[in-house]
Structure 1
Protein backbone atom coordinates (compact mmCIF):
# COMPACT_ATOMS: atom_id res chain seq x y z
CA UNK A 1 0.00 0.00 0.00
CA UNK A 2 2.82 2.37 0.96
CA UNK A 3 4.64 1.64 -2.31
CA UNK A 4 1.45 2.23 -4.29
CA UNK A 5 0.93 5.61 -2.53
CA UNK A 6 4.49 6.69 -3.26
CA UNK A 7 4.12 5.67 -6.90
CA UNK A 8 0.88 7.65 -7.15
CA UNK A 9 2.52 10.75 -5.66
CA UNK A 10 5.44 10.44 -8.09
CA UNK A 11 3.02 10.17 -11.02
CA UNK A 12 1.07 13.24 -9.87
CA UNK A 13 4.27 15.23 -9.43
CA UNK A 14 5.54 14.20 -12.84
CA UNK A 15 2.23 15.13 -14.48
CA UNK A 16 2.21 18.53 -12.79
CA UNK A 17 5.78 19.18 -13.90
CA UNK A 18 4.92 18.20 -17.45
CA UNK A 19 1.91 20.50 -17.51
CA UNK A 20 3.97 23.34 -16.10
CA UNK A 21 6.60 22.67 -18.74
CA UNK A 22 3.96 22.78 -21.47
CA UNK A 23 2.69 26.08 -20.13
CA UNK A 24 6.18 27.59 -20.15
CA UNK A 25 6.79 26.41 -23.69
CA UNK A 26 3.44 27.81 -24.84
CA UNK A 27 4.27 31.19 -23.33
CA UNK A 28 7.71 31.27 -24.93
CA UNK A 29 6.15 30.57 -28.31
CA UNK A 30 3.48 33.24 -27.98
CA UNK A 31 4.45 36.77 -29.03
CA UNK A 32 1.59 38.44 -27.16
CA UNK A 33 2.59 36.69 -23.93
CA UNK A 34 6.16 37.93 -24.32
CA UNK A 35 4.96 41.48 -24.99
CA UNK A 36 2.77 41.46 -21.88
CA UNK A 37 5.61 40.02 -19.83
CA UNK A 38 7.91 42.84 -21.03
CA UNK A 39 5.19 45.41 -20.38
CA UNK A 40 5.74 47.16 -23.71
CA UNK A 41 5.23 46.70 -27.44
CA UNK A 42 7.97 47.95 -29.77
CA UNK A 43 6.53 49.87 -32.71
CA UNK A 44 8.49 50.83 -35.83
CA UNK A 45 7.56 54.17 -37.42
CA UNK A 46 9.28 56.71 -39.67
CA UNK A 47 8.54 59.93 -37.82
CA UNK A 48 8.88 61.89 -41.08
CA UNK A 49 5.62 61.20 -42.95
CA UNK A 50 3.00 63.77 -41.95
CA UNK A 51 0.26 63.55 -40.92
CA UNK A 52 0.72 59.83 -40.20
CA UNK A 53 3.94 59.98 -38.19
CA UNK A 54 6.06 63.11 -37.67
CA UNK A 55 7.48 65.52 -35.11
CA UNK A 56 5.60 68.53 -33.78
CA UNK A 57 7.51 71.64 -34.88
CA UNK A 58 7.13 73.31 -31.49
CA UNK A 59 7.69 70.45 -29.03
CA UNK A 60 9.55 67.99 -31.29
CA UNK A 61 7.20 65.34 -29.89
CA UNK A 62 6.47 62.32 -32.07
CA UNK A 63 2.86 62.72 -33.18
CA UNK A 64 0.53 61.72 -35.98
CA UNK A 65 -2.44 59.58 -36.90
CA UNK A 66 -0.55 56.29 -36.81
CA UNK A 67 1.27 57.26 -33.63
CA UNK A 68 -1.99 57.88 -31.77
CA UNK A 69 -3.70 54.80 -33.20
CA UNK A 70 -0.75 52.60 -32.22
CA UNK A 71 -0.61 54.12 -28.74
CA UNK A 72 -4.35 53.46 -28.31
CA UNK A 73 -3.85 49.84 -29.39
CA UNK A 74 -1.01 49.43 -26.90
CA UNK A 75 -3.25 50.80 -24.16
CA UNK A 76 -5.92 48.24 -25.09
CA UNK A 77 -3.28 45.52 -24.81
CA UNK A 78 -2.33 46.83 -21.38
CA UNK A 79 1.27 47.67 -22.29
CA UNK A 80 3.44 50.72 -23.01
CA UNK A 81 3.95 51.87 -26.61
CA UNK A 82 7.69 51.94 -27.34
CA UNK A 83 8.16 53.82 -30.64
CA UNK A 84 11.35 53.28 -32.61
CA UNK A 85 11.97 55.64 -35.52
CA UNK A 86 13.43 54.00 -38.59
CA UNK A 87 13.31 54.26 -42.39
CA UNK A 88 10.24 52.65 -43.97
CA UNK A 89 12.04 49.66 -45.46
CA UNK A 90 14.03 49.22 -42.24
CA UNK A 91 10.81 49.09 -40.25
CA UNK A 92 9.37 46.33 -42.41
CA UNK A 93 12.62 44.37 -42.27
CA UNK A 94 12.73 44.81 -38.49
CA UNK A 95 9.28 43.25 -38.16
CA UNK A 96 10.41 40.16 -40.04
CA UNK A 97 13.60 39.81 -37.96
CA UNK A 98 11.86 40.41 -34.65
CA UNK A 99 13.60 43.72 -33.95
CA UNK A 100 10.13 45.32 -33.75
CA UNK A 101 6.88 43.80 -32.57
CA UNK A 102 4.81 45.70 -35.15
CA UNK A 103 4.89 48.66 -37.49
CA UNK A 104 2.51 51.64 -37.62
CA UNK A 105 3.27 53.78 -40.63
CA UNK A 106 0.44 53.75 -43.12
CA UNK A 107 1.52 50.31 -44.33
CA UNK A 108 -0.90 49.29 -47.04
CA UNK A 109 -2.00 45.73 -47.59
CA UNK A 110 -0.78 44.19 -50.84
CA UNK A 111 -0.75 40.67 -52.22
CA UNK A 112 3.05 40.73 -52.36
CA UNK A 113 3.44 41.85 -48.74
CA UNK A 114 0.92 39.20 -47.73
CA UNK A 115 3.55 36.59 -48.62
CA UNK A 116 5.85 37.96 -45.90
CA UNK A 117 3.53 39.44 -43.28
CA UNK A 118 0.30 38.59 -41.51
CA UNK A 119 -1.81 41.76 -41.55
CA UNK A 120 -4.36 42.86 -39.01
CA UNK A 121 -7.76 44.14 -40.08
CA UNK A 122 -7.53 47.55 -41.82
CA UNK A 123 -7.91 50.61 -39.62
CA UNK A 124 -7.89 53.30 -42.36
CA UNK A 125 -8.43 53.74 -46.09
CA UNK A 126 -6.87 55.99 -48.72
CA UNK A 127 -6.02 56.35 -52.43
CA UNK A 128 -2.68 56.62 -54.19
CA UNK A 129 -2.22 59.77 -56.28
CA UNK A 130 0.29 61.21 -58.72
CA UNK A 131 1.56 64.68 -57.77
CA UNK A 132 3.18 66.89 -60.40
CA UNK A 133 3.94 70.55 -60.97
CA UNK A 134 0.75 72.52 -61.40
CA UNK A 135 2.01 73.62 -64.83
CA UNK A 136 2.56 70.04 -66.02
CA UNK A 137 0.07 69.14 -68.75
CA UNK A 138 1.70 65.91 -69.92
CA UNK A 139 0.86 63.68 -66.94
CA UNK A 140 -2.80 62.89 -66.29
CA UNK A 141 -2.63 59.18 -65.48
CA UNK A 142 -0.33 56.62 -63.88
CA UNK A 143 0.42 55.25 -67.35
CA UNK A 144 1.90 58.62 -68.32
CA UNK A 145 4.77 57.98 -65.86
CA UNK A 146 6.34 55.49 -68.27
CA UNK A 147 9.88 56.64 -69.06
CA UNK A 148 9.74 59.49 -66.54
CA UNK A 149 11.17 59.92 -63.02
CA UNK A 150 9.46 59.79 -59.62
CA UNK A 151 10.57 60.10 -55.99
CA UNK A 152 9.39 57.89 -53.12
CA UNK A 153 10.38 56.18 -49.87
CA UNK A 154 12.43 53.03 -50.38
CA UNK A 155 10.36 49.89 -49.92
CA UNK A 156 7.04 51.71 -50.16
CA UNK A 157 4.13 50.61 -52.29
CA UNK A 158 4.43 53.91 -54.11
CA UNK A 159 7.99 53.08 -55.13
CA UNK A 160 6.72 49.73 -56.46
CA UNK A 161 3.92 51.48 -58.36
CA UNK A 162 6.41 53.84 -59.98
CA UNK A 163 8.47 50.90 -61.18
CA UNK A 164 5.31 49.09 -62.30
CA UNK A 165 4.33 52.02 -64.50
CA UNK A 166 7.80 52.28 -66.04
CA UNK A 167 9.27 55.19 -64.09
CA UNK A 168 12.79 55.53 -62.74
CA UNK A 169 12.39 55.98 -58.99
CA UNK A 170 14.62 58.05 -56.70
CA UNK A 171 14.48 57.13 -53.02
CA UNK A 172 14.05 59.84 -50.38
CA UNK A 173 13.35 59.79 -46.65
CA UNK A 174 10.63 62.39 -46.13
CA UNK A 175 7.53 63.62 -47.89
CA UNK A 176 8.97 67.13 -47.80
CA UNK A 177 12.02 66.00 -49.76
CA UNK A 178 9.77 64.16 -52.17
CA UNK A 179 7.72 67.27 -52.92
CA UNK A 180 10.84 69.44 -53.18
CA UNK A 181 12.28 67.17 -55.87
CA UNK A 182 9.07 67.62 -57.87
CA UNK A 183 9.06 71.37 -57.29
CA UNK A 184 12.64 71.92 -58.45
CA UNK A 185 12.26 69.63 -61.45
CA UNK A 186 14.67 66.93 -60.29
CA UNK A 187 11.88 64.38 -60.83
CA UNK A 188 8.71 64.56 -62.87
CA UNK A 189 6.31 63.37 -60.20
CA UNK A 190 5.74 61.50 -56.99
CA UNK A 191 3.23 58.79 -56.18
CA UNK A 192 1.94 59.21 -52.67
CA UNK A 193 -1.06 58.91 -50.39
CA UNK A 194 -3.78 61.40 -51.23
CA UNK A 195 -4.13 62.21 -47.51
CA UNK A 196 -0.43 63.06 -47.25
CA UNK A 197 -0.47 65.14 -50.43
CA UNK A 198 -3.49 67.15 -49.29
CA UNK A 199 -1.92 67.67 -45.86
CA UNK A 200 1.27 68.93 -47.51
CA UNK A 201 -0.69 71.37 -49.68
CA UNK A 202 -2.67 72.62 -46.68
CA UNK A 203 0.21 72.99 -44.24
CA UNK A 204 2.74 74.52 -46.66
CA UNK A 205 0.35 76.52 -48.81
CA UNK A 206 2.06 75.11 -51.90
CA UNK A 207 0.24 76.18 -55.06
CA UNK A 208 2.86 75.04 -57.55
CA UNK A 209 1.86 71.37 -57.18
CA UNK A 210 -1.29 69.44 -58.08
CA UNK A 211 -2.81 65.98 -57.96
CA UNK A 212 -2.64 64.86 -61.58
CA UNK A 213 -4.15 61.38 -61.20
CA UNK A 214 -5.98 59.33 -58.58
CA UNK A 215 -5.86 55.54 -58.31
CA UNK A 216 -9.48 54.31 -58.09
CA UNK A 217 -8.39 51.28 -56.05
CA UNK A 218 -8.77 51.76 -52.31
CA UNK A 219 -5.61 51.56 -50.20
CA UNK A 220 -6.10 49.64 -46.96
CA UNK A 221 -3.83 50.56 -44.05
CA UNK A 222 -3.17 47.76 -41.55
CA UNK A 223 -0.49 46.57 -39.14
CA UNK A 224 2.03 44.05 -40.48
CA UNK A 225 3.19 41.26 -38.19
CA UNK A 226 5.77 38.57 -38.79
CA UNK A 227 4.16 35.49 -40.32
CA UNK A 228 3.64 32.47 -38.09
CA UNK A 229 1.47 30.94 -35.38
CA UNK A 230 3.60 32.80 -32.83
CA UNK A 231 1.64 35.95 -33.75
CA UNK A 232 -1.86 34.49 -33.94
CA UNK A 233 -2.92 35.69 -30.50
CA UNK A 234 -1.24 39.09 -31.00
CA UNK A 235 -3.07 39.62 -34.29
CA UNK A 236 -6.36 38.63 -32.67
CA UNK A 237 -5.73 41.02 -29.78
CA UNK A 238 -4.86 43.92 -32.11
CA UNK A 239 -7.92 43.19 -34.24
CA UNK A 240 -10.08 43.30 -31.11
CA UNK A 241 -8.44 46.59 -30.09
CA UNK A 242 -9.12 48.10 -33.54
CA UNK A 243 -12.73 46.90 -33.36
CA UNK A 244 -13.23 48.50 -29.94
CA UNK A 245 -11.54 51.76 -30.97
CA UNK A 246 -13.80 51.93 -34.02
CA UNK A 247 -16.96 51.22 -31.99
CA UNK A 248 -15.95 53.79 -29.35
CA UNK A 249 -15.45 56.43 -32.04
CA UNK A 250 -11.78 56.82 -31.12
CA UNK A 251 -10.49 56.00 -34.61
CA UNK A 252 -12.81 58.62 -36.11
CA UNK A 253 -11.72 61.16 -33.49
CA UNK A 254 -8.02 60.65 -34.25
CA UNK A 255 -8.65 60.74 -38.00
CA UNK A 256 -10.54 64.03 -37.88
CA UNK A 257 -7.81 65.51 -35.69
CA UNK A 258 -5.13 64.85 -38.30
CA UNK A 259 -7.02 64.78 -41.62
CA UNK A 260 -10.09 66.87 -41.00
CA UNK A 261 -12.10 63.89 -42.22
CA UNK A 262 -12.83 60.31 -41.27
CA UNK A 263 -10.62 57.92 -43.27
CA UNK A 264 -11.28 54.97 -40.95
CA UNK A 265 -14.17 53.56 -42.96
CA UNK A 266 -14.49 52.82 -46.68
Structure 2
Protein backbone atom coordinates (compact mmCIF):
# COMPACT_ATOMS: atom_id res chain seq x y z
CA UNK A 1 0.00 0.00 0.00
CA UNK A 2 2.79 2.37 0.92
CA UNK A 3 4.63 1.52 -2.29
CA UNK A 4 1.52 2.13 -4.41
CA UNK A 5 0.90 5.47 -2.65
CA UNK A 6 4.56 6.43 -3.15
CA UNK A 7 4.38 5.63 -6.85
CA UNK A 8 1.15 7.62 -7.17
CA UNK A 9 2.66 10.64 -5.45
CA UNK A 10 5.75 10.39 -7.65
CA UNK A 11 3.57 10.31 -10.78
CA UNK A 12 1.53 13.32 -9.59
CA UNK A 13 4.70 15.26 -8.74
CA UNK A 14 6.29 14.49 -12.12
CA UNK A 15 3.11 15.51 -13.94
CA UNK A 16 2.97 18.78 -11.98
CA UNK A 17 6.59 19.56 -12.75
CA UNK A 18 6.10 18.93 -16.45
CA UNK A 19 2.99 21.11 -16.46
CA UNK A 20 4.87 23.79 -14.58
CA UNK A 21 7.73 23.69 -17.09
CA UNK A 22 5.27 23.96 -19.94
CA UNK A 23 3.58 26.99 -18.37
CA UNK A 24 6.91 28.66 -17.74
CA UNK A 25 8.03 28.12 -21.33
CA UNK A 26 4.97 29.92 -22.70
CA UNK A 27 5.23 32.70 -20.13
CA UNK A 28 7.32 35.08 -22.27
CA UNK A 29 7.83 38.82 -21.77
CA UNK A 30 4.61 39.86 -23.50
CA UNK A 31 2.61 37.41 -21.40
CA UNK A 32 4.16 38.75 -18.21
CA UNK A 33 3.43 42.34 -19.25
CA UNK A 34 -0.20 41.50 -19.96
CA UNK A 35 -0.50 39.64 -16.68
CA UNK A 36 0.88 42.69 -14.84
CA UNK A 37 -1.44 44.97 -16.81
CA UNK A 38 1.32 47.52 -17.37
CA UNK A 39 4.48 48.13 -19.38
CA UNK A 40 7.41 50.04 -17.88
CA UNK A 41 8.92 52.57 -20.29
CA UNK A 42 12.27 54.27 -19.76
CA UNK A 43 12.49 57.88 -20.94
CA UNK A 44 14.59 60.94 -20.09
CA UNK A 45 11.91 63.58 -19.69
CA UNK A 46 14.43 66.30 -20.59
CA UNK A 47 14.69 66.09 -24.39
CA UNK A 48 12.05 68.28 -26.04
CA UNK A 49 9.99 67.73 -28.03
CA UNK A 50 10.48 63.97 -27.71
CA UNK A 51 10.16 63.63 -23.94
CA UNK A 52 9.93 66.57 -21.51
CA UNK A 53 7.77 68.25 -18.89
CA UNK A 54 5.09 70.76 -19.79
CA UNK A 55 6.31 74.08 -18.31
CA UNK A 56 2.82 74.95 -17.05
CA UNK A 57 1.60 71.63 -15.65
CA UNK A 58 4.90 69.75 -15.16
CA UNK A 59 3.21 66.78 -16.86
CA UNK A 60 5.47 64.39 -18.76
CA UNK A 61 4.69 64.98 -22.44
CA UNK A 62 6.31 64.70 -25.84
CA UNK A 63 6.28 62.82 -29.13
CA UNK A 64 7.86 59.66 -27.72
CA UNK A 65 5.68 59.78 -24.63
CA UNK A 66 2.48 59.85 -26.69
CA UNK A 67 3.70 57.22 -29.17
CA UNK A 68 4.67 54.88 -26.32
CA UNK A 69 1.31 55.45 -24.60
CA UNK A 70 -0.49 54.66 -27.87
CA UNK A 71 1.54 51.45 -28.25
CA UNK A 72 0.66 50.45 -24.68
CA UNK A 73 -3.02 51.03 -25.44
CA UNK A 74 -2.76 48.74 -28.48
CA UNK A 75 -1.19 46.09 -26.23
CA UNK A 76 -4.06 46.51 -23.79
CA UNK A 77 -1.91 47.62 -20.86
CA UNK A 78 -1.15 50.79 -18.91
CA UNK A 79 2.07 52.70 -19.67
CA UNK A 80 4.28 53.34 -16.64
CA UNK A 81 7.03 55.83 -17.46
CA UNK A 82 10.32 55.79 -15.57
CA UNK A 83 12.51 58.88 -16.00
CA UNK A 84 16.20 58.08 -16.18
CA UNK A 85 19.35 59.28 -17.93
CA UNK A 86 19.69 58.08 -21.53
CA UNK A 87 22.45 55.54 -20.87
CA UNK A 88 20.65 54.35 -17.73
CA UNK A 89 17.52 53.71 -19.77
CA UNK A 90 19.37 51.55 -22.26
CA UNK A 91 21.12 49.63 -19.49
CA UNK A 92 17.80 49.12 -17.73
CA UNK A 93 16.21 47.65 -20.85
CA UNK A 94 19.13 45.27 -21.39
CA UNK A 95 18.97 44.04 -17.78
CA UNK A 96 15.18 43.77 -17.62
CA UNK A 97 14.62 46.69 -15.24
CA UNK A 98 12.45 48.32 -17.91
CA UNK A 99 10.29 46.61 -20.51
CA UNK A 100 11.15 49.09 -23.28
CA UNK A 101 12.55 52.56 -23.92
CA UNK A 102 10.95 55.47 -25.79
CA UNK A 103 13.45 58.28 -26.20
CA UNK A 104 14.35 58.80 -29.83
CA UNK A 105 16.64 55.78 -29.68
CA UNK A 106 18.19 55.40 -33.12
CA UNK A 107 19.08 52.05 -34.61
CA UNK A 108 22.81 51.43 -35.00
CA UNK A 109 24.87 48.35 -35.77
CA UNK A 110 26.57 48.58 -32.39
CA UNK A 111 23.29 48.79 -30.46
CA UNK A 112 21.83 45.95 -32.51
CA UNK A 113 24.43 43.67 -30.94
CA UNK A 114 22.79 44.26 -27.55
CA UNK A 115 19.17 45.00 -28.43
CA UNK A 116 16.46 43.67 -30.72
CA UNK A 117 14.82 46.71 -32.31
CA UNK A 118 11.25 47.06 -33.49
CA UNK A 119 10.41 48.60 -36.85
CA UNK A 120 11.16 52.32 -37.03
CA UNK A 121 8.35 54.69 -36.08
CA UNK A 122 10.09 57.99 -36.99
CA UNK A 123 12.96 59.35 -39.08
CA UNK A 124 15.37 62.24 -38.55
CA UNK A 125 18.87 63.57 -39.31
CA UNK A 126 21.76 64.37 -36.99
CA UNK A 127 23.04 67.96 -37.17
CA UNK A 128 25.91 70.01 -35.82
CA UNK A 129 24.83 73.16 -33.97
CA UNK A 130 27.30 76.02 -33.41
CA UNK A 131 27.23 79.71 -32.67
CA UNK A 132 25.86 81.64 -35.63
CA UNK A 133 29.17 83.51 -35.72
CA UNK A 134 31.28 80.33 -35.93
CA UNK A 135 33.23 80.05 -39.19
CA UNK A 136 35.46 77.11 -38.23
CA UNK A 137 32.87 74.34 -38.35
CA UNK A 138 30.93 73.73 -41.56
CA UNK A 139 30.92 69.92 -41.63
CA UNK A 140 31.17 66.92 -39.31
CA UNK A 141 34.80 66.51 -40.35
CA UNK A 142 35.51 70.01 -39.03
CA UNK A 143 34.72 68.81 -35.49
CA UNK A 144 38.19 67.30 -35.20
CA UNK A 145 40.14 69.14 -32.51
CA UNK A 146 37.04 70.97 -31.26
CA UNK A 147 34.74 70.37 -28.28
CA UNK A 148 31.13 69.17 -28.20
CA UNK A 149 28.49 68.49 -25.54
CA UNK A 150 26.05 65.58 -25.67
CA UNK A 151 24.12 63.07 -23.58
CA UNK A 152 26.20 60.17 -22.26
CA UNK A 153 25.62 56.99 -24.21
CA UNK A 154 23.91 58.75 -27.10
CA UNK A 155 24.71 58.25 -30.76
CA UNK A 156 25.61 61.92 -30.86
CA UNK A 157 28.30 61.41 -28.25
CA UNK A 158 29.67 58.52 -30.33
CA UNK A 159 29.62 60.66 -33.48
CA UNK A 160 31.54 63.44 -31.74
CA UNK A 161 34.22 60.98 -30.67
CA UNK A 162 34.28 59.39 -34.14
CA UNK A 163 34.93 62.77 -35.75
CA UNK A 164 37.73 63.60 -33.33
CA UNK A 165 36.00 66.01 -30.96
CA UNK A 166 36.52 66.16 -27.21
CA UNK A 167 33.06 65.35 -25.85
CA UNK A 168 31.54 66.64 -22.61
CA UNK A 169 28.57 64.72 -21.22
CA UNK A 170 25.49 66.60 -20.03
CA UNK A 171 21.96 65.57 -19.04
CA UNK A 172 19.63 67.81 -21.05
CA UNK A 173 19.21 69.35 -24.47
CA UNK A 174 19.02 72.80 -22.89
CA UNK A 175 22.39 72.29 -21.22
CA UNK A 176 24.05 71.36 -24.51
CA UNK A 177 22.73 74.52 -26.15
CA UNK A 178 23.74 76.67 -23.17
CA UNK A 179 27.30 75.34 -23.31
CA UNK A 180 27.50 76.27 -26.98
CA UNK A 181 25.98 79.70 -26.33
CA UNK A 182 28.43 80.59 -23.55
CA UNK A 183 31.43 79.25 -25.44
CA UNK A 184 32.22 76.38 -23.08
CA UNK A 185 32.07 74.01 -26.07
CA UNK A 186 32.28 74.68 -29.78
CA UNK A 187 29.30 72.62 -30.88
CA UNK A 188 26.69 70.02 -30.10
CA UNK A 189 25.52 67.16 -32.27
CA UNK A 190 21.81 66.53 -31.94
CA UNK A 191 18.62 65.63 -33.76
CA UNK A 192 17.58 68.20 -36.33
CA UNK A 193 14.02 68.06 -34.99
CA UNK A 194 15.19 68.90 -31.46
CA UNK A 195 17.48 71.68 -32.68
CA UNK A 196 14.72 73.28 -34.72
CA UNK A 197 12.29 73.00 -31.81
CA UNK A 198 14.84 74.69 -29.53
CA UNK A 199 15.33 77.51 -32.05
CA UNK A 200 11.57 78.00 -32.41
CA UNK A 201 10.82 77.75 -28.69
CA UNK A 202 13.56 80.09 -27.50
CA UNK A 203 13.62 82.40 -30.52
CA UNK A 204 17.42 82.43 -30.42
CA UNK A 205 19.31 83.75 -33.41
CA UNK A 206 22.70 83.16 -31.82
CA UNK A 207 22.84 79.50 -32.91
CA UNK A 208 22.75 77.81 -36.30
CA UNK A 209 22.78 74.37 -37.90
CA UNK A 210 26.30 74.21 -39.30
CA UNK A 211 26.09 70.74 -40.87
CA UNK A 212 23.50 68.05 -41.60
CA UNK A 213 24.26 64.32 -41.72
CA UNK A 214 22.78 62.98 -45.00
CA UNK A 215 22.22 59.56 -43.44
CA UNK A 216 18.70 59.03 -42.14
CA UNK A 217 18.31 58.39 -38.41
CA UNK A 218 15.73 55.69 -37.67
CA UNK A 219 13.99 55.83 -34.29
CA UNK A 220 12.73 52.50 -32.93
CA UNK A 221 11.97 50.73 -29.66
CA UNK A 222 14.91 48.78 -28.19
CA UNK A 223 14.13 45.52 -26.42
CA UNK A 224 16.46 43.16 -24.60
CA UNK A 225 17.89 40.69 -27.11
CA UNK A 226 16.50 37.16 -27.02
CA UNK A 227 13.55 34.95 -27.91
CA UNK A 228 11.78 36.00 -24.71
CA UNK A 229 10.94 39.24 -26.53
CA UNK A 230 9.94 37.80 -29.92
CA UNK A 231 6.20 38.07 -29.35
CA UNK A 232 6.53 41.48 -27.67
CA UNK A 233 8.50 42.82 -30.64
CA UNK A 234 5.89 41.44 -33.05
CA UNK A 235 3.08 43.01 -31.01
CA UNK A 236 4.81 46.41 -30.92
CA UNK A 237 5.51 46.20 -34.66
CA UNK A 238 1.83 45.52 -35.26
CA UNK A 239 0.89 48.44 -33.00
CA UNK A 240 3.22 50.76 -34.92
CA UNK A 241 1.79 49.57 -38.24
CA UNK A 242 -1.77 50.12 -37.02
CA UNK A 243 -0.98 53.57 -35.60
CA UNK A 244 0.65 54.54 -38.90
CA UNK A 245 -2.29 53.26 -40.96
CA UNK A 246 -4.77 55.06 -38.71
CA UNK A 247 -2.86 58.33 -39.11
CA UNK A 248 -2.19 58.47 -35.37
CA UNK A 249 1.61 58.59 -35.73
CA UNK A 250 1.34 61.48 -38.19
CA UNK A 251 -1.10 63.27 -35.87
CA UNK A 252 1.26 63.03 -32.89
CA UNK A 253 4.23 64.09 -35.04
CA UNK A 254 2.44 67.16 -36.40
CA UNK A 255 1.44 68.11 -32.85
CA UNK A 256 5.05 68.25 -31.65
CA UNK A 257 7.08 68.99 -34.81
CA UNK A 258 4.66 70.77 -37.10
CA UNK A 259 5.53 68.12 -39.67
CA UNK A 260 5.22 64.39 -40.21
CA UNK A 261 8.52 62.67 -39.40
CA UNK A 262 6.92 59.22 -39.23
CA UNK A 263 7.18 58.55 -42.99
CA UNK A 264 10.62 57.77 -44.42
CA distance in 2, matches of 1:145, 1:106: 23
TM-aligned CA deviation for residue 21 of structure 1: 2.7
Give structure 1 regions of 4+ aligned residues with deviation exceeding 2 angstroms.
12-23
Matches within 5 A, 1:179-258: 179-258=177-256
Contiguous gaps of at least 5 residues in structure 1: 1-8
TM-aligned CA deviation for residue 19 of structure 1: 6.5
Question: Given that residues 27 and 34 in structure 1 are in contact (C-alpha distance below 8 angstroms), is that contact kept between their aligned partners in structure 2?
Answer: no
TM-aligned CA deviation for residue 26 of structure 1: 1.9
Q: What is the number of residues matched between the two proteins?
A: 256
TM-score by length of 2: 0.94
CA distance in 1, matches of 2:85, 2:250: 27
Contiguous gaps of at least 5 residues in structure 2: 1-7
Partner of residue 3, structure 2: none
Deviations 1:112-136 (A, max 9, x none): 0000000000000000000000000
Partner of residue 102, structure 1: 100
TM-aligned CA deviation for residue 23 of structure 1: 3.7
Matches within 5 A, 1:161-172: 161-172=159-170
TM-score by length of 1: 0.93
Match of 1:112, SS state, is helix
Deviations 1:71-108 (A, max 9, x none): 00000000000000000000000001110000000000
CA 1:249–1:15: 2 relative to 1, 3 Å: farther
CA distance in 2, matches of 1:104, 1:179: 22
Asked whether 1:27 is paired with 2:26, we answer yes
One of 172, 175, 179 as aligned partner of 1:174: 172
One of 154, 158, 173 as aligned partner of 2:156: 158
Partner of residue 118, structure 1: 116
Cα RMSD (Å)? 1.6
Partner of residue 68, structure 1: 66
TM-aligned CA deviation for residue 229 of structure 1: 0.3
